Chain A
Amino acid sequence: MKKLAIGLYAAVTVALMVWGYYQAIYVAPNDAMQGEIFRIIYYHVPSASVAFLFFAISLIGSIGYLGFRRNHAGWAQVSDAWALAGAEVGVVFCTVVLTTGPLWGRRAWGIWWTWDARLTTTLVLWLIYVSYLLLRRFAAGPQMQTLAAVLGIFGALDVPIVYMSNRWWRTQHPAPVFGGSEGSGMAASMVGPFLWNMLAWFAWGVMILGIRYAVERQQQKIAAREAQAALDEGSLI
C-alpha cells in the first residue's frame, strides 16, 4: 500500500515537472525586457525557496536532536536524519541556485556575479552547510551527531547576520542589483507558469528529501546493528 502511494506520488511529481516545463517554455510569454533568458526564473526562484525551506528543516532537526538525545533516543535519531537530509538536499538546490543565477545575470545584466545581500547570503549559506556536511564526514565516533547539531545551530544563527551586514555594506557602496528590486513585477501571464513550477519543484524537493531521509534512517539502523553485533561478540569472550 505504501509502495503504491510512493509510486503514485513520484509519478505525479514527474508529471508536474513535465507540465511545469511546458508552462515555462511554451505557455509563458517572452519577457518584455529580458527575452528568453528570463525563463531561468522558473527554475532559479523555486530552487532558492526549496533550499531555504530545507535548511530550516535541517535547523529544526539539529535542535530536535540536541533536545531529545537524553530522554528520547529514538526521536533524536529521527531528528538527526532530518537534519542531515535537509542540509544535503538543501545544498543540492542551493548549488542549482548558484549556477543558474550567474547564467541569468550574465545575459540579463551583463555581470556573472555581484556581492549584494542576497547573493552573498546565498553563497555563505551554501558554504556553511557544505562545512556542516564536511564535519559530518570527518568527525568520528558517536558524538558526531551532537557536534553536527551544534554546528547546524551556529550556522543558522549566522545567516540573518550575514544578510544584514551585507545590506549595510551595500547601502554604503551601492553596487549593481541582481534581478532588480525584490519582486519587481511579474506580468500576469507569467504568474501561472511560475506557480506551476513552484509546485513542481517543491514536489520534487520533498520527494528527494524523503528518499534521503529514508536512506539515512536505513544507515542508522545498519550502524546500530553493527554496534550491537560488536557488543555481542565482545560479551562472548
Chain B
Amino acid sequence: MMPRALWTHLVKDLRIELRTLDALVSMLFFSLLVVVLFSIAFDPRGVFSQQIAGGVLCVATMFASVSALNQAWAREIRHQVLDAQRMAPAPGAELFLAKVIANFLFVTVVQIILAPCFLIFYNLHIVGQAWLLALVLPLGTWALVGNGIFFAALSIRSRNRELLLSLILFPIFIPALLAMVQATTAILTGESDPTLWIKLLLGYDIIFTTVSLLLFDVVFHAE
C-alpha cells in the first residue's frame, strides 16, 4: 500500500485542514470571485462563452491553488516543525508527496464545487466527451500543485515568500497551462481533439513529479 510515512503525513495534513476548513473556504471564495471578475472583464455571450470558459476555469484554478500553496508549509515553518521533520529518518520525498496529495485533494474539492457555478454562469453545454474533463482537470491540477509545493519549499526562507512562489511557479507552469486550457476548450466546444494535450499534460506531470521527488531531499536539507 502506501509507505508509512507518506500515509502519516497525508492523514495529518487532511485532519488539520478538516478541523478548520480555513484553506478550503478561502480557496473556494477566491475562485468564485475570479470567475465573476473574468465574466465582467470578458463578457461571455453565446458561442464566445464556450471558447473562454476553459481558460477562465484554469486561471481560476491557478489563483485558488496559489492561495493554498502559500500557506502549505506555514505550519511546518512555525515552531521549528521543519527542523524536526528533517531529523526524522523518513525520506523527505514522502513528506513532499503527502503534501502534494493533500493540496491536490483540496483544489479538486474546490473544482468540484465550482463546476456547477461554471455551468450556470457560462451556460455551458459540453459538446465533446465530458468524462475526459475528469482526466484533464486532475492532470492539470497535479502539475500546478506538484510544482507549487516544490517551489513553495524553495522559497521558505526568502523575504517575499508568497510573491516569490508565484514568480518562479508561473513561468515553468506555462506549457501545462496551455495544455490544460486547450484540452478543456477542445472538450467543451468539441471542435478539436484533446488527446494530444492530454498526453502532453501526462508527460509534464511524469517528468516534473519525478524530478521533484529526486531533488526534494536536496532542497529540504539545503543548508
Find out whether A and B make contact in their complex, taking CB atoms under 8 A apart as touching.
yes
Task: Convert B175-207 into 0s and 1s, putting 1 for each residue whose CB lies closer than 8 angstroms to a CB of A.
Answer: 100110010000000001000110010011001
A154 and B172 contacting across the interface, CB-CB below 8 Å: yes
A157 and B219 alpha carbons, distance in the complex (Å): 17
A135 touches B158 (CB 8 A): yes
Quick one: which of B168, B174, B211 contacts A162, CB cutoff 8 A?
Answer: B174
Please determine whether B178 and A147 come into contact, CB atoms closer than 8 angstroms.
Answer: no
Cβ of B157 under 8 Å from chain A: yes
Binds B, one of A137-145, A199-207, A219-227: A137-145
When distances are taken between beta carbons in the complex, the residues of chain B under 8 Å from A66 are 218
Q: Are A151 and B154 in contact (CB under 8 A)?
A: yes
Are A165 and B172 touching (Cβ within 8 A)?
no
> Which chain A residues lie closer than 8 Å to B192 at the CB level?
172
Residue-wise interface mask of A (71-114) relative to B, using a CB-CB cutoff of 8 A (1 in contact, 0 not): 00000000000000000000000000000000000000000000
Interface size on B, residues (CB 8 A): 34
Give per-residue flags for A209-224: 1 if the beta carbon is below 8 A from chain B beta carbons, else 0.
0000000000000000
Given the complex, which residues of B lie within 8 Å of A27, measured CB to CB? none
| Chain B proximity of A38: nearest CB distance (Å) | 31
Report whether B168 and A143 are in contact in the complex, using a CB–CB cutoff of 8 Å: no
Q: What's the dominant secondary structure at chain B's contact region?
A: helix
Cross-chain contact B172 with A155 (CB below 8 angstroms): yes
Q: Is A161 an interface residue (CB 8 A)?
A: yes
Closest CB of chain A to B208's CB: distance in Å?
A: 7
**A150→B178 contact, CB < 8 A:** no
Binds A, one of B21-29, B127-135, B159-167: B159-167
Pairs across A and B, CB under 8 Å, 14 listed: A66-B218, A124-B175, A135-B167, A138-B160, A139-B157, A139-B158, A141-B223, A142-B223, A146-B219, A150-B219, A157-B207, A158-B171, A164-B200, A165-B179
> Measuring CB to CB, which residues of chain B are less than 8 angstroms from any residue of chain A?
147, 150-151, 154-155, 157-160, 164, 167-168, 170-172, 174-175, 178-179, 182, 192, 196-197, 200, 203-204, 207-208, 211, 215, 218-219, 222-223
Residues of A within 8 A of B (CB): 66, 124, 127-128, 131-132, 134-135, 138-143, 146-147, 150-151, 153-155, 157-158, 161-162, 164-166, 168-169, 172
